[in-house]
Amino acid sequence: MTAHDSTKRYDTLSQAFHWLTAAAVLAAFVLGPGGFGRMLRNGIDPGTQLDIVWHETLGIAVFGLTLLRLLWVLVRPRAPRHSMAGWMQLASKGAHVVLWGMLLALPMTALLTLGSEGAPLTLLGLRIDELTLIANSAFAPLADWGDVHTFIGDAIMWIAGLHAAASIYHHFVMKDNVLTSMVPRLKARAQ
């Protein structure tokens, strides 16, 4: 066994971060409040809408999980390395960088949306009525942040879907351990 083959699985904490983030992103996407701006214009308080409260709470949770994951990547045990074509390695690294960037950018665009529209941040057990610092920032007037937020959210779902499809392709077609390295208790293939 070569040195780069010695680690077949991601550590338990990396797996937990991965799957908790995936579940939170999916739930936040499903609960995403379509017509948020229209609700505000019609005088509906977002704090009275449970889907919005959960969406915003999950969004902040995704941001926190992503920051913790990034810190863990710096100190965790060595990540598994899999033999594959160079273009696959490059595509994998590129997809991961894009996903990490979007997972950090998405909550920022949400806060910019709320601040620029004068909407409160409504979380489970917490409400911040004014995001004055964000509303008065130089970034607030630069874009329709709600549209940017929606675009990034949709893009995350597409790229995450491709990421999942690629791991399934690796498992069933290439018959390697890419998928088993991240799925708890899924038996690794003998190589």
Whether the Cβ atoms of residue 122 and residue 56 lie closer than 8 Å to each other: yes
What is the overall mean pLDDT for the chain?
90
Q: What's the whole-number mean pLDDT along residues 32-44?
A: 81
Residue 117 is assigned to a structural domain of this protein: yes
How many Å apart are CA 60 and CA 122, to the nearest integer?
Answer: 11
pLDDT band at residue 190, thresholds of 50, 70 and 90? Answer: low
* pLDDT tens digits, one per residue of 54-97: 999 999 999 999 999 999 999 998 888 888 899 999 999 999 99
How many Å apart are CA 105 and CA 136, to the nearest integer?
Answer: 19
CATH number of the domain where residue 143 is located: 1.20.950
How many Å apart are CA 118 and CA 105, to the nearest integer?
Answer: 20
What tokens does 157 get? 């779902």
- Using only C-alpha atoms, the chain has a radius of gyration, in whole angstroms, of 19
Whether the Cβ atoms of residue 159 and residue 99 lie closer than 8 Å to each other: yes
Residue 3 is assigned to a structural domain of this protein: no
Q: What is the per-residue pLDDT for 191? A: 59
Q: How many domains does the chain have?
A: 1
Q: What is the per-residue pLDDT for 172? A: 93
* pLDDT tens digits, one per residue of 151-181: 999 999 999 999 999 999 999 999 898 899 9
Residue 185 is assigned to a structural domain of this protein: no
* pLDDT tens digits, one per residue of 108-138: 999 999 999 889 999 999 999 989 999 999 9
Whether the Cβ atoms of residue 67 and residue 105 lie closer than 8 Å to each other: no
Domain residues for the domain of 15 are: 8-79+86-174
Residue 123, strand partner residues: 126
Q: Could you tell me which residue, 20 or 8, shows the higher pLDDT?
A: 20
Residue 12 is assigned to a structural domain of this protein: yes
Is residue 101's pLDDT more than 60?
Answer: yes
pLDDT band at residue 189, thresholds of 50, 70 and 90? Answer: low
Residue 154 is assigned to a structural domain of this protein: yes
Residue 17 is assigned to a structural domain of this protein: yes
Secondary structure of residue 157 in the 3-state scheme: helix
pTM given for the model: 0.87
How many Å apart are CA 87 and CA 166, to the nearest integer?
Answer: 13
Q: What are phi and psi of 123, to 5 degrees?
A: -115, 165
Residue 190 is assigned to a structural domain of this protein: no
